Amino acid sequence: MNPTERQELAGLLPGPATPVLSSDRMTLLEAHLMQEITKEAEAPAATPDPADAGHRPPRRLRRAVVLVAVPVTAAAVLATVLTVGGGDGPAGPATDSEAVALLDRIATVTAAKGTPAVRDDQWVYTLVQGTDDLTDQGLDTFRRADWHAVDGSRDGLARTTVLSGPSGEGTTDMRLQADPNATTYRELQALPTDPGALYDKVWSATEGQGPTHEEAALEMIGSMLEGATLLPDVGATLYRAAARVPGITVVDHAEDASGRAGVGLAFGDGENRQVWVFEDKRLAYLGSDHVALLDVDVVDRVGQTPDRP
């Protein structure tokens, strides 16, 4: 079935119950990408065995949150689109030229930032905010701070604070066991900095995934944007690789999961729709409509938070 037929068929069916990839599935995709990158010889990607999936909770709960619908503006709808593919064959997915131009601007701004010196004995600290659907009980609004070893060799910590919701306010700590399948800072640092090479790796690693191959590729790229915030060259390459994947559109008035307004880049349809959100002027990555990225930095010990003015 070609992509156009698959998209038309998908429109006739009800949307799936889960808005994004499961944590186990995304972990497998990330592990598969790392395997592709570290191979000495190029070879076709193998389909991962679900039995190999880790059993720990999601690293940042990014896939356990409620999708917040953000309307596509008239500017995005009326944007000029380029059809991917040629000849007499069926038309492929469309690429929004406005989205490609925005991704190029974001990549240029990102690449101009400085890269901090990071030691293997340090920790990557991230703070995110989102909502957790408790099914019949309602929504919890939470903030979660994670500490992950730079080289992935030591156990980390997740500290979740429920801000509001049926489970009640409070803070809980959970040890994060070192996971060989999790993408570490050092592995992100080793990603190709050539957009074409990185696109090829992501495209190969997500072959056979869905709802569409394009969405799976963009979901994998999105899963690495938080960590790549500390690696400007890698971040810029991820954005330029994303520009090669058809199906992204611009959302002029988007909001991240904490309510911060900005410009968005959306992909997917219905309950599978996702939006990456960026500051309007500085184009800094704010996270997504699923989970807002409030802070990311490198610290010397677990439990330490960055010093901010």
User: Six-digit token pair at 269?
Assistant: 């349809």
Please write the tens of the pLDDT for every residue from 145-202: 999 999 999 999 999 999 999 988 899 999 999 888 788 999 999 999 999 999 999 9
DSSP E strand boundaries for 97-169: 123-133, 139-149, 156-164
pLDDT reported for residue 271 = 85
User: From CA 75, how far away is CA 92, in angstroms rounded?
Assistant: 22
Residue 287 and residue 215: Cα distance in Å, rounded?
17
pTM over 0.75: no
Q: Give the residue-averaged pLDDT of 243-264.
A: 96
- Angstrom distance (rounded) from CA 191 to CA 206: 16
Whether residue 40 has pLDDT greater than 60 = no
Percent of the chain with pLDDT over 70: 70
- Judge whether residue 21 has pLDDT over 50: no
Residue 64 in this model has a pLDDT that exceeds 50: no
Distance of alpha carbon 1 from alpha carbon 230, whole angstroms: 40
Tell me which residue of 20, 60, 66, 73 sits closest to 254, measured CA to CA. Answer: 73
* Token pair recorded at residue 242: 């994303």
Query: How does pLDDT run across 266-275, given as a tens digit for each residue?
Result: 999 888 899 9
The DSSP secondary-structure symbol of 67 reads P
Alpha-helical segments (H) within 206-295:
213-223, 225-228, 232-242
Measured CA to CA, the distance from residue 235 to residue 121 in angstroms comes to 23
